Chains A and B, each alone.
Chain A
């Protein structure tokens, strides 16, 4: 058994824990930190339900060892709303009905946040390619695309 002490900053707060080397980042987030907004879907790097942002880029947290994330900054869905106000992406998913069962939503929103940070004014096609690593089995994606368009506009207005 290989134990390691890691410090991972999640949503701005540093967390130090002793973990097994084989602990996956998604398990660290959900089980060690009790942040259960990040979901586990396929367990096979396919669905994107576990997407979080690490060091500014979206990653599938079921496919990163927590030890690799030692010393790094991670953002999860719990860090999106600030002072009780929804992030424009969360607001967009609300306003445009971007979810039905909601299982893919946290991963979808985190990847959309990364995507808009790279491409603040995307075309519809760019959005569809941008979220192509995140699967939704309810919406048919149209409402998700509209939610991201809503957020893109609002974020640009806010400057």
Chain B
């Protein structure tokens, strides 16, 4: 399986990449780690006429603590997140997720920015970033703008990025005191997409959950927050009944498709169980 023919550009800077995007618009695709795009091109599911390869833009590769947030450059490979010192035990949800994305060899190429910009509900970072209330930084011909993650995913493989914009950075708010997060995923085997996965980031006030964001992987056509599950949790003292209510809320509000990974009922029930499990882990971490 050989990809279709394309014209190739390898810009050395974001400005150059944006110029190429302006010039080629809808015909062009950005190539980051390529671990989703290249298989799609080999299957001829994607036949872009122009490829803009940003692997040479090395200054988009970083993980650093900035004022109030963790900044991750779009071209940071998943393995570089795993190895980063900047994470410093404070980002349990992110650490959980990058250890279970695809497989270790794929993680050596796959990028955080690509995982998000692809806007695939089966990818792991969309739910992670929704739970973190992250911000996406995009650069286009009119300059730089930030997009709240809640506004970013607009459809299946569709995002709020304009066709002449490039995702350059993801900003994760630094978790406050008594905060914790976790990511739990069930997959048939390493490297497959999740049957279901749950991302939780929450803050505890003693035994009461004072704030929480919960998001789900691969149980909806668009990456989604489980807002009913959040409502079942926020302001409540953690108990088995509260966890069960949150799990049932997530199971009810998700919208999975039946496939080789399971039926709708199975995926809903798995989402219920994973939601409870992930909240429990996040609570334990928040209490340190």
Contacts and interface: CB of A to CB of B under 8 A. Distances in A.
B177 interface: no
Interface in A44-65: 44-46, 48, 51, 57-60, 62-65
Q: Which of B5, B7, B51, B109 is packed against the most chain A CB atoms within 10 Å?
A: B109
B47 to A, nearest CB: 11
Contacts of B35: 45, 63
Contact of A22 (B6, B10, B190): B6
Nearest to B99: A129
Interface stretch (A8-16, A130-138, A149-157): A130-138
Nearest to B41: A22
Contacts of B14: none
Interface string B33-62: 011001101110000000101010000000
B260 interface: no
Contact of B3 (A1, A22, A60, A133): A22
A115 B107 CA distance: 13
A45 B39 contact: yes
A46 B189 CA distance: 11
A63 B108 CA distance: 12
Given A65-B53, A68-B34, A20 B106 contact: no
Contact of A134 (B51, B102, B105): B105
Contacts of A4: 8
B105 A51 contact: yes
A63 B5 contact: no
B39 A57 contact: no
B5 A43 contact: no
Nearest to A27: B2
Given A21-B8, A22-B4, A68-B55, A63 B104 contact: no
A81 B190 CA distance: 30
A59 B8 contact: no
Interface of B: 1-8, 10, 31, 34-35, 38-39, 41-43, 51, 53, 55, 79, 102-106, 108-109, 190-191
Interface of A: 1-2, 4, 20-22, 24, 27, 43-46, 48, 51, 57-60, 62-65, 67-68, 70, 111, 114-115, 129-134
16 contacts: A2-B6, A4-B8, A21-B51, A22-B6, A24-B3, A44-B39, A58-B104, A58-B108, A59-B109, A67-B8, A67-B53, A68-B10, A111-B104, A131-B104, A132-B103, A132-B191
Given A21-B6, A48-B103, A133-B103, 7 more contacts: A22-B5, A43-B42, A60-B106, A62-B42, A67-B10, A129-B104, A132-B104
